[in-house]
Amino acid sequence: MGCSANAAPQWLESTSDDCGPSSCGSGGTSHIILALSAATTAIGGTLFAQYFLYLDPTHVISPDISFQFALICAVGGLGTASGPVFGALIIVPLSELLRGLLSQSPSGLHLVIYGIIVIIVILYFPSGVSGAIGRAASRFSPAGAFAARVQAKKYDAEA
């Protein structure tokens, strides 16, 4: 069976043909990656369900959780791989700490303080915490000091 442009119907008929999946645009590795992603998602969902013992749409897809995901990326640094990691290391403990410390205070006070801290971080670190760490690290290297001065002049010119 040769590899042709209309190999998809042949692939559906023959399961032993390796030409079929490649002609449809899907290889064997993409199926393995998809299966691995589905397996880790299933494990995460199982652990989540065992932790809460009750699944409700407000627990799984609430606006608060969606907002926190976007906030983690913005505070950590958009466009970087390490940004969401740094953002999660800051935002999640901060949120839980404020919720625990201010639980006896008026309702929503922890969210007000949380919002003020996030606004301060976004105003003073526009490239996120990851960008601030990168700039600080580049200032301590001999070649990075020049790059940091050029970047600061460029940022001042844009503002």
- CB burial string 115-151: b at 16+ within 10 A, e below: eebbeebeeebebbbbbbbbbeeeeeeeebeeebeeb
Q: Average pLDDT for residues 50-56, to the nearest whole number?
A: 84
Rounded CA-CA distance 27/2 in Å is 17
CA atoms of 76 and 126, how far apart (whole Å): 10
What confidence tens digit (pLDDT) does each residue in 70-115 have?
888 888 888 888 888 988 998 889 888 888 888 787 877 877 887 8
Does the structure show a pLDDT above 90 at 31? no
Residue ranges covered by each domain of the chain: 17-61, 62-159
48 vs 10 pLDDT, higher one? 48
11 pLDDT band, cuts 50/70/90, is very low
